[in-house]
Amino acid sequence: MKFLSFIKQNQPYLGLLVDGDGVFNLSAYLTQHDGHGLQFIPTNVSQLIALGEIALTNIQKTLLDIDMSEQELTHLDNVEVLPPLDITKNVFCVGRNYREHIIEGNIANGRPANSFPEAIEFFSKPSTAVIGHKGHVNRHANLTNSLDYEVELAIVIGRRGTNISRENALDHVFGYTIVNDITARDLQKRHGQWLKGKSLDTTCPMGPVVTHRSAIENPNDLNVSLTVNGELRQSENTSSMIFSIETIIEQLSAGLTLEPGDVIATGTPKGVGFAMTPPRCLEVGDVVSAQVQGIGTLTNEITA
């Protein structure tokens, strides 16, 4: 199942993406059928997660009785897609998790090519950076001359936990989404750490959906790609990650409580703009599409 949050006629709804581009209004359906025993009718994915596994199971059973060919579906392009989750705190992120990306970054920054991290490099992006599918990314031309893209598979936490073991890590996952970790490379370098360069407003596109974990057989084996104006820039598989999904959850949750609705972006593969010769970073008018197998395509335009 692929869940999304959207607005139609100025009202927020929880939807289900059907056959790639059809939006089924799950909130409206549940309202019309007395909620099927739910505590409340969810209008976004965060609220769905908050209802817990029992409610999700109830919804899954309900959906089995629905013939989608007989339902009124709205095309994805005809709704305003919101970030799927109501982000109330920073988005967790993993830096330098693909070997070839590390090498290209090392070369671009004058470091030894084979200098790899011994532990996961965590950082975060604020909730004010989050936008949804088709949302506009500000070029921030007064602040940066090197705005870059980074397609990433992102984990959506479904169960609260601290000190989560690698063996139990996937039990704490609700599903997966896409994050484009837009980065101001010059700010990142100037400030000596990553927060400022990763945190400008509108630089965390997310979505368009959250695919439930039951529909992803192996998150450590998914194709990931990104295009700029239709030109392929990044293409890799999550099997190339140095640190797996389970390892990321285990290490991040050590002494740090993960809560339902938390998002963890897992790193980006090679092909980023600043590492090209010459560098090819983002400019006004560029259309960036980030794609992850089993989830979909997250598209955003760079605007002034």
Query: 164 and 63 in one domain?
Result: no
Query: 105 and 45 in one domain?
Result: no
Domain interval for residue 9: 2-81
User: Nearest 5°: CA angle at 202, between 2 and 286?
Assistant: 90
For the chain, give the mean pLDDT: 95
Structure tokens at 45: 């994915």
Query: 207 and 137 in one domain?
Result: yes
Query: 265 and 208 in one domain?
Result: yes
pLDDT over threshold 70, residue 90: yes
What pLDDT does residue 140 have?
A: 98
Show which of 81, 99, 124 is a domain's final residue: 81
What pLDDT does residue 276 have?
A: 94
What pLDDT does residue 200 have?
A: 98
Query: 234 and 106 in one domain?
Result: yes
Average of per-residue pLDDT across 253-258: 98
Query: 23 and 164 in one domain?
Result: no
pLDDT over threshold 90, residue 58: no
Domain membership flag for residue 271: yes
Query: 69 and 192 in one domain?
Result: no
Show which of 81, 115, 141 is a domain's final residue: 81
Query: 160 and 205 in one domain?
Result: yes
Range with the poorest average pLDDT among 32-41, 69-78, 273-282: 32-41
The span from the CA of 286 to the CA of 40, in Å, is 41
Structure tokens at 28: 């409206």
Query: 195 and 49 in one domain?
Result: no
Average of per-residue pLDDT across 37-43: 88
Confidence band of 55 (pLDDT split at 50, 70, 90): confident
CB distance 48 to 39 below 8 Å? no
The span from the CA of 238 to the CA of 219, in Å, is 7
pLDDT over threshold 80, residue 37: no
Average of per-residue pLDDT across 215-219: 97
Q: What percent of the chain is helix, strand and coil (3-state, nearest 5)?
A: 25, 35, 40
Domain membership flag for residue 86: no
Confidence band of 160 (pLDDT split at 50, 70, 90): very high
Number of domains into which the chain is organized: 2
The CATH number linked to 142 is: 3.90.850.10
Query: 110 and 63 in one domain?
Result: no
Residue 56, Cβ neighbours under 10 Å: how many? Answer: 19
Average of per-residue pLDDT across 183-197: 93
Query: 253 and 158 in one domain?
Result: yes
Domain membership flag for residue 209: yes
Show which of 32, 51, 81 is a domain's final residue: 81
Domain membership flag for residue 104: yes
**Better pLDDT: 84 or 65:** 84
Query: 254 and 235 in one domain?
Result: yes
pLDDT over threshold 80, residue 36: no
